Structure 1
Amino acid sequence: MDQQARTAALDVETIPRGRMLWRFVRQIAFALISIVVLVVAFGVLNPRFLSGGNWFHIAQQVAVIAILATGQTFIIATAGIDISQGSVVALSSMICAIAIVDAHMSSGVAIVLTLALGAVIGAIIGLSVVVLGVPPFIATLGMLAVALGAALLTTNGTPVFGLPNGFQEISQGTVLGFPNMAWIAVLLALFSAYLLNKTRFGRYTLAIGSNAEAARRVGINVPRHLLLVYVFGGIVSSLAGVIYLAYTAAAQPTSGANYELYAIAAVVIGGGSLFGGVGTILGSILGALLMTILKNGTQLAGISPYVEQVILGIVVVGAVYVDNLRRRLR
């Protein structure tokens, strides 16, 4: 074991606290500043944007993106990427709806079944990466097509309605005046932040993204860990599908379109690096909030949804540019 390998793999543990705090602030600064600018701009364009009712709606809208960004954070931190999230959301919502409406399963059993599906999808992606040597982008691109096709095949492209009110309360209900779906996103974020920052799993995730070979030399089982990261990502994507289904009260085989782009942009805007080794859950949540504010504000401003898609593309490219800029400034 050479000193270079040990240093690279354990970097996350040896950085002084003051330096780590400064790095963290620098990572989330762009997202925070951008949020403030957008809030002011959209508030001027349409005073309704600042209303309590609209912010309640933003809290609902941000939940699914934030959940997906949480899973994407771990994957991107390993220098991977998952562009299948939107299709997995669609397939998961279809399977969950069919289990409840057509198979007459209880909501709890249907949710467990759906999360198990997400784990299997994540395992397939992970095995493709670590066993077959398929690059993460290609592995998840293939899963994007498979999951979308499977979602369409389940009902020949027909939506599924008739979900019970109790199931819909998972997302549509409130606790202390705050949407349930937003509470779920917050709880997942807290758990994920602990997992990433306070556990061996998180340290290994960042170490692999920094230098996979160095991580291997200090004894980290890189293939097994990557497999677990993708399984976690698959479960999170399926959870987002369940939350989205309960929010919309109907399963659409094309739901979740572009959500993977929002999630990837959220992670990068929030300080994550597409080159791996860097990522914060708080930053990703702030990135998700920024993306939601952008979407909500353009709608209230009367901007065409087609223009919104153009803006999304620009934001994704801009996020990558910011990532490169941060890397040069380190």
Structure 2
Amino acid sequence: MDPLLQIFSLLKVDHRHPARLDTGGDWALHFPGSSHVRFGAAVRGACWPSVEGAPEPIHLQAGDGYLLTRGQPYTMASDLKLPTEEGAPLFRQQRSLVRYGQTEPDTSLVAGRFTFDELSSELLLQVLPSIVHLRAEGEGSVLQAAIHMLDHETRERRLGASLVTHHVAQIMLVQSLRQIAASPDRPAMGWLAALADPRIGAALQLMHEQIDRRWTVNDLAREAGMSRSIFALRFKQLTGSAPLDYLLRLRMRMACQALQTGERNVAEVAYEAGYHSESAFSNAFKRVMGVPPKTFRAPRRHNEAA
């Protein structure tokens, strides 16, 4: 399996309804921090998103997209020198389709938000900066198609809009990861950096494809065409983890996903993760997750029954 595809399969997304802002003239709206990852784009016009704690604002132009990955308070404005008004009450009052300003709208913004579970957040925050600017000229037709979909869905309230928003969010995440992996100015980090490295990436792909195999560092180094010591050093430099520690956490993330579905028992999940002993799996799971696998499943069953 493509490691990026597998990592995305581990992301538990709680997607939300899309929002739209049509505004004209001078305006500045402030939004509080939250637990959400926010994404959006300029359909027409331009504005300045400014995130608290970020070194500088970005200039968002028509066709550009953005991600705010840390749930920071932020401001969207035609001019950042203007006094701000709180934006959240406006969106609550107008049910997320907001017309704002004293003149005919000349700027249209579309946006959405989503949350991840703790494991997913760890995966993403390891590789994403606090703000990502997706420029129209560098992203081509894929980003523009996603923005067009958001524009279409937010012109009026449509059935299934949250589902479309979910898929657009995935597209924008992929585009963000691609941009970071290809950027000479901002070197990729974590598993994204490892995927971009030809030799380490090859070993990483095998780990994801054959997660149940009893890998050794020697095996992985051989597949990468490197000596054991150089491979182990390079792998840790890129991912921040030793090869087998990375594999352990990958297995536990996959196990978490399987346990949460409730479709397989602990022994079956253990076998799929490469463990022939349920007790060995349970010990490893507790060491990484802090709770035994059976306890991990309990809240899920309770919520489903509620």
From the two aligned structures, give the one with the greater helix fraction: 1
Same fold by TM-score greater than 0.5: no
TM-score in terms of structure 2 length: 0.23
TM-score in terms of structure 1 length: 0.22
Q: Choose 1 or 2 for highest CA Rg.
A: 2
From the two aligned structures, give the one with the greater strand fraction: 2
